[in-house]
Amino acid sequence: MKYSGQVLYSLSGVAVLFSALSCSGKKEKSAKPYNIVYIMTDDHTAQMMSCYDTRYINTPNLDRIAADGVRFTNSFVANSLSGPSRACMITGKHSHANGFTDNTTCVFDSSQQTMPKLLRKAGYQTALVGKWHLESLPSGFDYWEILPGQGDYYNPDFIRMNNDTVQRRGYVTNLITDIGINWLENERDETKPFAIFLHHKAVHRDWLPEIKNLSLYEDKIFPLPDNFFDDYNGRLAAAAQEMSIAEDMDIIYDLKMLAVGKESRLKSVYEQIIGRMTPEERKAWDHFYDPIIQDFYSRKLSGKELAEWKFQRYMRDYMKVVKSLDDNVGRILDYLDKKGLLENTLIVYTSDQGFYMGEHGWFDKRFMYEESMRTPLIMRLPKDFDKKGDIPQLVQNIDYAPTFLDLAGVPVPEDMQGIS
Ligand SMILES: [Ca+2]
């Protein structure tokens, strides 16, 4: 493949991402094409990354990416829902143009143009591991291994390229990283540049922490957001959302308060999910939760007290799941460092959208307010770029595809709606 340093500057008169990067100058043209490591999580919101917000959690490995690179401070998705967001990202097009407009009725037309396909055509080795959620099987990858649908946290099934399904033993965030590192180490063609897409299930509802992290953060008390008890006065659409921690967060499915004689709407789903644990995992799980469950039902909380109790447990569970994720981002960074790949690789960390952490009394993401439309976006740049710090320009996830193509020296198709 041919690399042209010029495309980094001049592809579009309205170029945002890399023209912003070039403000402080791209130093020199690299002899080798750049690799791309794209790490995307599910529902990981910027409030829960210490490089964006120091109120709650410490994420040292994510912060390494931001500290060594750039942090986008006005990064948004085009569509704040899993499948549609993912389709926007790989096509560089809005939902009406890529055809994947919702999670329930759509099947992604995998014959259409995508950024991974264009990278592959230009000589890149491409790999995808983890959550896909576009219903049709992946296309445009030399290697893929995906979770069916939402996937499971414990001992998850994966669908492989020969279309068989295997159950892997372990915790999903570790497994996705293991598979990714194995591909980088043993399966890729080292004579070619690579683009690997690691799509985590974490930190999606219902936030099942890894056993070793169960007891973390239990002594933390989180401040309630100022608008936690929002009355939605004058905002009928907001009032109609079913995302309320007080009303809609399931005491068993979401918050794990499973006990004999207690019922909830999603109890049976929770039983199925934790039914995937090994006997040892289940024993450790019950050992941790049993005293909390007993204490909870003995207190007979209601009203605002119950809502606040739910908020605290939600925050702790979410943070524990982020902890495993941050550790695994560290594993990838360490691997790239050890292999001498850091300096020629663009490392991207983002999420498929943001999430409510109690703002407006909500969890989830299905309403177009700031917390869910924003998505974290941090990048560690190849050595040829000396830009560091914040990039305030408005960007959306439809801009990722043209940006990666631009970086790879691949012409950006005119019908892509995002810009580099
Ligand atoms: Ca999501």
Spell out the domain ranges in the chain: 7-207+321-408
* 367 Cα to the center of ligand 1, angstroms: 13
Centre of ligand 1 to C-alpha 4, Å, is: 35
Ligand 1 center to 205 CA (angstroms): 9
CA dihedral defined by 99, 103, 107, 109, rounded to 10 degrees? 40
Q: How far is the CA of 35 from the centre of ligand 1 (A)?
A: 26
Looking at residue 2, its pLDDT comes to: 34
pLDDT of residue 32: 86
Span from the CA of 109 to the centroid of ligand 1 (angstroms): 20
Of 179, 109, 180, 184, the closest CA to residue 139 belongs to 109
Reported as a single tens digit per residue, the pLDDT across 84-121 is 999 999 999 999 999 999 999 999 999 999 999 999 99
Instruction: Give distance in angstroms: CA of 151 to centre of ligand 1.
Output: 12
- Decide if 363 contacts 95 (C-beta within 8 A): no
In the reported structure, the alpha carbon of residue 152 is separated from the centroid of ligand 1 by a whole-number distance in angstroms of 14
Q: What is the pLDDT of residue 416?
A: 98
Query: 364, 54 in Cβ contact below 8 A?
Result: no
Distance of CA 349 from the midpoint of ligand 1 (Å)? 14
Asked if 321 contacts 256 with a C-beta cutoff of 8 angstroms, the reply is: no
pLDDT at residue number 348: 98
Dist. CA 201 → ligand 1 center (Å): 9
E runs forming strands in 59-147: 70-72, 75-76, 125-131, 143-147
Q: How many angstroms separate the alpha carbon of residue 383 from the centre of ligand 1? A: 31
Query: Among the CATH numbers 3.40.50.300, 3.40.720.10, 1.10.3720.10, 3.10.20.30, which is that of 7-207+321-408?
Result: 3.40.720.10
CA of 251 to the centre of ligand 1 (A): 21
Are 347 and 69 in contact by the 8 Å Cβ rule? The answer is yes
Compute the distance from residue 184 Cα to the ligand 1 centre, in Å: 26
Structure tokens at 234: 């004058």
Q: What angle do CA 31, 23, 64 make, to 5 degrees?
A: 75
Per-residue pLDDT of the chain in tens (420 residues, 90 and over written 9): 333 333 333 333 333 444 444 444 455 555 689 999 999 999 999 999 999 999 999 999 999 999 999 999 999 999 999 999 999 999 999 999 999 999 999 999 999 999 999 999 999 999 999 999 999 999 999 999 999 999 999 999 999 999 899 999 999 999 999 999 999 999 999 999 999 999 999 999 999 999 999 999 999 999 999 999 999 999 999 999 999 999 999 999 999 999 999 999 999 999 999 999 999 999 999 999 999 999 999 999 999 999 999 999 999 999 999 999 999 999 999 999 999 999 999 999 999 999 999 999 999 998 999 999 999 999 999 999 989 999 999 999 999 999 999 999 999 999 999 999
Tell me the three-class secondary structure of 126-176, residue by residue: EEEEEECCCCCCCCCCCEEEEECCCCCCECCEEEECCCCEEECCCEHHHHH
* CA–centroid distance, residue 30 to ligand 1 (Å): 35
- Are 138 and 146 in contact by the 8 Å Cβ rule? The answer is yes
Q: Which tokens belong to 199?
A: 């799509």
| Residue 29, pLDDT score | 57
Alpha carbon of 42 to ligand 1 centroid (Å): 4
Using DSSP, state whether 309 is helix, strand or coil.
helix
Q: Is 65 helix (H, G, I), strand (E, B) or coil?
A: helix
Burial class (CB in 10 A: 0-12, 13-18, 19+), 276: middle
Three-state DSSP class for 370? Answer: helix
Residue 49: left (phi > 0), alpha (psi -120 to 50), or beta?
beta
- How many Å lie between the centroid of ligand 1 and the Cα of residue 339? 32
Cα 255 to ligand 1 centroid, rounded to whole Å: 19
